Protein backbone atom coordinates (compact mmCIF):
# COMPACT_ATOMS: atom_id res chain seq x y z
CA UNK A 1 0.00 0.00 0.00
CA UNK A 2 1.80 3.12 -1.17
CA UNK A 3 1.56 6.22 0.89
CA UNK A 4 3.61 8.41 -1.40
CA UNK A 5 4.11 7.91 -5.10
CA UNK A 6 6.80 9.93 -6.79
CA UNK A 7 7.03 10.07 -10.56
CA UNK A 8 9.83 11.91 -12.35
CA UNK A 9 10.21 14.48 -9.62
CA UNK A 10 12.79 17.15 -10.43
CA UNK A 11 13.55 20.24 -8.39
CA UNK A 12 15.43 23.40 -9.18
CA UNK A 13 16.81 26.06 -6.88
CA UNK A 14 16.92 28.82 -9.51
CA UNK A 15 19.23 27.26 -12.10
CA UNK A 16 20.61 24.50 -9.97
CA UNK A 17 18.94 21.14 -10.47
CA UNK A 18 18.87 19.63 -7.03
CA UNK A 19 16.70 16.59 -7.75
CA UNK A 20 16.78 14.63 -10.97
CA UNK A 21 13.77 12.60 -12.08
CA UNK A 22 13.09 10.78 -8.86
CA UNK A 23 10.64 7.93 -9.17
CA UNK A 24 9.85 5.86 -6.11
CA UNK A 25 7.05 4.62 -3.87
CA UNK A 26 7.02 4.98 -0.11
CA UNK A 27 5.09 2.17 1.54
CA UNK A 28 2.80 2.96 4.45
CA UNK A 29 3.45 1.53 7.89
CA UNK A 30 7.17 1.31 7.23
CA UNK A 31 10.22 3.33 8.08
CA UNK A 32 12.08 4.44 4.97
CA UNK A 33 15.55 5.89 5.39
CA UNK A 34 17.12 8.37 3.00
CA UNK A 35 20.92 8.24 3.03
CA UNK A 36 23.62 9.86 0.97
CA UNK A 37 26.49 12.33 1.19
CA UNK A 38 25.93 16.01 1.99
CA UNK A 39 24.24 17.88 -0.80
CA UNK A 40 22.82 14.78 -2.44
CA UNK A 41 19.26 16.05 -2.21
CA UNK A 42 17.81 13.80 0.46
CA UNK A 43 16.66 16.63 2.73
CA UNK A 44 15.39 18.55 -0.27
CA UNK A 45 13.29 15.60 -1.33
CA UNK A 46 12.00 15.13 2.19
CA UNK A 47 10.87 18.73 2.35
CA UNK A 48 8.96 18.27 -0.87
CA UNK A 49 6.67 15.74 0.78
CA UNK A 50 5.05 18.48 2.88
CA UNK A 51 5.78 21.34 0.51
CA UNK A 52 8.13 23.08 2.91
CA UNK A 53 10.18 23.79 -0.19
CA UNK A 54 7.50 26.27 -1.22
CA UNK A 55 8.98 28.61 1.36
CA UNK A 56 12.31 28.73 -0.45
CA UNK A 57 12.47 31.44 -3.06
CA UNK A 58 13.35 30.37 -6.55
CA UNK A 59 12.34 26.79 -5.90
CA UNK A 60 10.61 25.04 -8.75
CA UNK A 61 9.40 21.49 -8.89
CA UNK A 62 8.19 19.26 -11.74
CA UNK A 63 6.80 15.76 -11.83
CA UNK A 64 4.22 14.46 -9.41
CA UNK A 65 4.18 13.59 -5.76
CA UNK A 66 1.03 11.81 -4.70
CA UNK A 67 -0.20 11.27 -1.18
CA UNK A 68 -2.84 8.55 -1.07
CA UNK A 69 -3.34 8.99 -4.76
CA UNK A 70 -3.75 12.78 -4.73
CA UNK A 71 -1.13 15.06 -6.25
CA UNK A 72 -0.06 17.32 -3.39
CA UNK A 73 1.08 20.10 -5.68
CA UNK A 74 -2.33 20.38 -7.30
CA UNK A 75 -4.10 20.70 -3.97
CA UNK A 76 -4.35 24.34 -2.80
CA UNK A 77 -4.84 23.34 0.83
CA UNK A 78 -1.22 23.34 1.94
CA UNK A 79 -2.06 23.63 5.61
CA UNK A 80 -4.24 20.56 5.37
CA UNK A 81 -1.35 18.70 3.76
CA UNK A 82 0.96 19.69 6.60
CA UNK A 83 -1.59 18.43 9.05
CA UNK A 84 -1.52 15.02 7.43
CA UNK A 85 2.24 15.00 6.97
CA UNK A 86 4.13 16.08 10.07
CA UNK A 87 7.74 17.10 10.31
CA UNK A 88 10.48 16.88 12.90
CA UNK A 89 13.59 18.94 12.34
CA UNK A 90 17.27 18.39 12.87
CA UNK A 91 17.67 20.72 15.81
CA UNK A 92 14.87 20.58 18.35
CA UNK A 93 12.81 23.75 17.87
CA UNK A 94 10.17 24.02 20.57
CA UNK A 95 8.33 27.32 20.62
CA UNK A 96 9.21 29.69 23.48
CA UNK A 97 6.03 28.76 25.30
CA UNK A 98 4.90 26.25 27.86
CA UNK A 99 5.11 22.54 27.11
CA UNK A 100 1.33 22.36 27.02
CA UNK A 101 1.01 25.26 24.59
CA UNK A 102 3.66 23.78 22.36
CA UNK A 103 1.79 20.54 21.93
CA UNK A 104 -1.59 22.27 21.78
CA UNK A 105 -0.47 24.69 19.08
CA UNK A 106 -1.16 22.27 16.25
CA UNK A 107 -4.67 21.22 17.34
CA UNK A 108 -5.55 24.83 18.14
CA UNK A 109 -4.43 25.85 14.68
CA UNK A 110 -6.75 23.31 13.16
CA UNK A 111 -9.77 24.43 15.13
CA UNK A 112 -9.79 22.56 18.42
CA UNK A 113 -10.97 24.94 21.11
CA UNK A 114 -12.36 22.80 23.89
CA UNK A 115 -10.06 22.69 26.87
CA UNK A 116 -11.04 19.12 27.65
CA UNK A 117 -10.30 17.89 24.15
CA UNK A 118 -6.99 19.72 24.13
CA UNK A 119 -5.99 18.23 27.48
CA UNK A 120 -6.65 14.77 26.11
CA UNK A 121 -4.81 15.41 22.86
CA UNK A 122 -1.80 16.84 24.68
CA UNK A 123 -1.56 13.91 27.06
CA UNK A 124 -1.96 11.36 24.28
CA UNK A 125 0.67 13.04 22.14
CA UNK A 126 3.13 13.29 25.01
CA UNK A 127 2.54 9.64 25.87
CA UNK A 128 2.99 8.54 22.28
CA UNK A 129 6.25 10.44 22.16
CA UNK A 130 7.43 8.71 25.33
CA UNK A 131 7.88 11.97 27.18
CA UNK A 132 4.72 12.14 29.29
CA UNK A 133 6.31 10.93 32.51
CA UNK A 134 8.98 13.59 32.28
CA UNK A 135 6.60 16.44 31.54
CA UNK A 136 3.27 15.65 33.17
CA UNK A 137 4.13 17.63 36.29
CA UNK A 138 5.48 20.64 34.46
CA UNK A 139 3.14 21.21 31.57
CA UNK A 140 2.98 24.92 32.30
CA UNK A 141 6.72 25.35 32.45
CA UNK A 142 8.61 26.67 29.46
CA UNK A 143 9.54 24.07 26.88
CA UNK A 144 13.01 25.54 26.79
CA UNK A 145 13.67 24.22 30.28
CA UNK A 146 13.83 20.66 28.94
CA UNK A 147 17.02 18.88 27.91
CA UNK A 148 17.90 18.46 24.24
CA UNK A 149 16.63 14.92 24.00
CA UNK A 150 13.42 15.81 25.82
CA UNK A 151 12.91 18.83 23.58
CA UNK A 152 13.18 16.68 20.51
CA UNK A 153 10.64 14.21 21.88
CA UNK A 154 8.45 17.20 22.65
CA UNK A 155 8.73 18.25 19.03
CA UNK A 156 7.70 14.74 18.04
CA UNK A 157 4.73 15.00 20.40
CA UNK A 158 3.88 18.34 18.86
CA UNK A 159 3.85 16.77 15.41
CA UNK A 160 1.81 13.80 16.59
CA UNK A 161 -0.79 16.00 18.27
CA UNK A 162 -2.41 16.89 14.96
CA UNK A 163 -2.84 13.16 14.25
CA UNK A 164 -0.90 12.99 10.99
CA UNK A 165 -0.67 9.95 8.78
CA UNK A 166 2.97 10.34 7.91
CA UNK A 167 5.96 11.68 9.77
CA UNK A 168 8.99 13.22 8.12
CA UNK A 169 12.16 13.31 10.19
CA UNK A 170 15.18 15.27 9.04
CA UNK A 171 18.21 13.88 10.90
CA UNK A 172 16.26 14.00 14.16
CA UNK A 173 19.02 12.67 16.38
CA UNK A 174 22.12 14.26 14.90
CA UNK A 175 22.18 16.97 17.58
CA UNK A 176 21.54 14.59 20.48
CA UNK A 177 23.59 12.45 22.85
CA UNK A 178 23.64 8.64 22.45
CA UNK A 179 21.06 7.93 25.14
CA UNK A 180 18.52 10.40 23.76
CA UNK A 181 19.26 9.02 20.30
CA UNK A 182 18.45 5.48 21.30
CA UNK A 183 15.28 6.62 23.08
CA UNK A 184 14.11 8.26 19.90
CA UNK A 185 15.08 5.26 17.76
CA UNK A 186 13.06 3.10 20.10
CA UNK A 187 10.19 5.52 19.66
CA UNK A 188 10.38 5.40 15.88
CA UNK A 189 10.18 1.62 15.91
CA UNK A 190 7.00 1.85 17.98
CA UNK A 191 5.47 4.63 15.91
CA UNK A 192 5.81 2.87 12.61
CA UNK A 193 2.88 0.65 13.50
CA UNK A 194 0.59 3.63 13.09
CA UNK A 195 2.45 6.07 10.89
CA UNK A 196 4.44 6.07 7.69
CA UNK A 197 7.85 7.40 8.58
CA UNK A 198 10.53 8.80 6.30
CA UNK A 199 13.80 9.59 8.00
CA UNK A 200 16.86 11.33 6.61
CA UNK A 201 19.99 10.20 8.37
CA UNK A 202 23.73 10.51 8.11
CA UNK A 203 24.19 7.67 10.50
CA UNK A 204 24.38 4.41 8.64
CA UNK A 205 24.05 2.29 11.72
CA UNK A 206 20.88 4.13 12.58
CA UNK A 207 19.47 3.34 9.17
CA UNK A 208 20.25 -0.33 9.60
CA UNK A 209 18.79 -0.36 13.10
CA UNK A 210 15.41 1.20 12.47
CA UNK A 211 14.49 1.32 8.82
CA UNK A 212 12.68 -1.23 6.67
CA UNK A 213 13.68 0.29 3.35
CA UNK A 214 16.64 2.46 2.46
CA UNK A 215 17.09 4.87 -0.43
CA UNK A 216 20.55 6.04 -1.41
CA UNK A 217 20.87 9.40 -3.13
CA UNK A 218 23.82 10.90 -4.92
CA UNK A 219 24.00 14.31 -6.61
CA UNK A 220 20.23 14.57 -6.83
CA UNK A 221 19.66 11.08 -8.20
CA UNK A 222 18.06 8.07 -6.61
CA UNK A 223 20.84 5.52 -7.03
CA UNK A 224 19.58 2.56 -5.02
CA UNK A 225 16.36 1.76 -3.21
CA UNK A 226 15.38 -1.48 -1.57
CA UNK A 227 15.00 -3.44 1.64
CA UNK A 228 17.48 -2.15 4.18
CA UNK A 229 19.03 -5.55 4.83
CA UNK A 230 19.65 -6.06 1.16
CA UNK A 231 21.02 -2.57 0.53
CA UNK A 232 23.47 -2.91 3.38
CA UNK A 233 24.60 -6.48 2.78
CA UNK A 234 24.57 -6.69 -1.00
CA UNK A 235 24.04 -3.33 -2.68
CA UNK A 236 23.47 -3.51 -6.41
CA UNK A 237 25.15 -0.23 -7.29
CA UNK A 238 28.85 0.19 -6.72
CA UNK A 239 28.42 3.85 -5.78
CA UNK A 240 26.10 2.76 -3.00
CA UNK A 241 28.58 0.14 -1.82
CA UNK A 242 31.38 2.69 -1.83
CA UNK A 243 29.31 5.11 0.19
CA UNK A 244 28.10 2.72 2.85
CA UNK A 245 31.52 1.17 3.32
CA UNK A 246 32.94 4.64 3.76
CA UNK A 247 35.19 4.49 0.74
CA UNK A 248 33.96 7.94 -0.18
CA UNK A 249 32.35 10.41 2.16
- Interacting residue ranges for other proteins, rule: CB under 8 A: 50, 52, 55, 57, 78-83, 86-87, 89, 91, 93-98, 105-106, 109-110, 142, 155, 158-159, 162, 204-205, 208, 232-235, 241, 244-249
Residue number with CB closer to other proteins (94 or 220): 94
> CA 220, CA 218: separation in Å to the nearest integer?
5
Residue number with CB closer to other proteins (158 or 183): 158
> CA 241, CA 216: separation in Å to the nearest integer?
10
Residue number with CB closer to other proteins (55 or 116): 55
* Cβ 108 to other proteins shortest distance, Å: 8
First to last CA, the chain: 34
Task: Report DSSP state, residue 249.
Answer: -
> CA 141, CA 166: separation in Å to the nearest integer?
29
Question: Residue 107: what are its φ and ψ, rounded to 5°?
Answer: -55, -40
* Cβ 243 to other proteins shortest distance, Å: 10
Those residues with Cβ within 8 angstroms of residue 166's Cβ, 6 or more apart along the chain or in another chain: 3, 4, 28, 49, 67, 84, 85, 86, 195, 196, 197, 198
Beta-bridge partners for 19: 11
* Cβ 110 to other proteins shortest distance, Å: 6
Residue number with CB closer to other proteins (227 or 247): 247
Task: State the Cα angle at 81 between 83 and 31, rounded to 5°.
Answer: 75
Residue number with CB closer to other proteins (10 or 208): 208
* Cβ 150 to other proteins shortest distance, Å: 16
Amino acid sequence: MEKFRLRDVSLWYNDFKALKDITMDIVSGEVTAFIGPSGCGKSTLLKSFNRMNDLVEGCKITGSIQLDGQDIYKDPNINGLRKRVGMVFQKPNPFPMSIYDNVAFGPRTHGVKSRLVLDELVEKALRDAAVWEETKDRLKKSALSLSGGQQQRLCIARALAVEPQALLMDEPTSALDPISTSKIEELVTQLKERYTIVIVTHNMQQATRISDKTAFFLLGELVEYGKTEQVFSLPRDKRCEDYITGRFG
